[in-house]
Amino acid sequence: MIMRLLSLYLIGLMFGIGISISGMANPAKVLNFFDIMGAWDPSLIFVMGAGLLVTVIGYRLVLAQDAPRYGDRFRLPTKRDIDPRLIAGSALFGIGWGIAGFCPGGAVPALGTGRAGVFIFIVSLICGIFITKRILHNQTAP
């Protein structure tokens, strides 16, 4: 139990350190990556490239195993369809990311810096997730 939680904490910590030194927690840097016609900073392509390379190789090795170290099976997403909800949701995410400069994976570690703006974004993000989940839940309920 303790080892399981400790390993989860350390995995989160590694992610948080990676986000911190990569620049993904820094909205100025993130927004400049997308501002090709302005103060362009291509750094984030290196985050994505290196992250993807490591994960492609790592997943290939890990998913060849029968089961994870702590657990009975790998929990992989089962949805396969490319539907309007996926595309509309991703488009909205992009619009919001471009307005605020934070994505969820960048903002959660940024909380550790104690900057007030991060808390404003996170509270708003959680409201957005909560409201949308409620609406989706009510739609599917009889």
Partner 1 sequence: METEFTPLLSAIGGCLIGLSAVALMYFHGRIFGATGILAGLLAPSSAQDFSWRVAVVAGMISGPIAVALVTGSLPDVDIPVSSNMLVLGGLIVGIGVTLGSGCTSGHGICGLARFSPRSLHATITFMIFTFISVYSVRHILGL
Could you say which residues in the range 8-67 bind partner 1, by CB under 8 A? 8-29, 31-32, 34-39, 41-44, 46-56, 58-59, 61-63, 65, 67
Size of the site for partner 1 (CB under 8 A): 115
Residue of 49, 18, 23 lying closest to 102 (CA atoms):
23
Cβ 2 to partner 1 shortest distance, Å: 11
> Contact between 2 and partner 1 (CB under 8 A)?
no
Cβ 4 to partner 1 shortest distance, Å: 8
- CB 118, CB 107: distance < 8 Å: yes
Residues 72-111 that bind partner 1 (CB under 8 A): 73-77, 79-82, 85-106, 108-111
Question: How many Å apart are CA 36 and CA 2, to the nearest integer?
Answer: 47
Cβ 142 to partner 1 shortest distance, Å: 19
Cβ 51 to partner 1 shortest distance, Å: 4
- CB 134, CB 47: distance < 8 Å: no
Residues 110-139 that bind partner 1 (CB under 8 A): 110-113, 115, 117-118, 120-133, 136
Torsion of CA 49, 50, 53, 59, to 10 degrees: -120
The contacts of residue 25 (CB under 8 Å, 6+ apart) are: 19, 106, 107, 109, 110, 113
Residue 99 or 141: the one with the smaller Cβ distance to partner 1 is 99
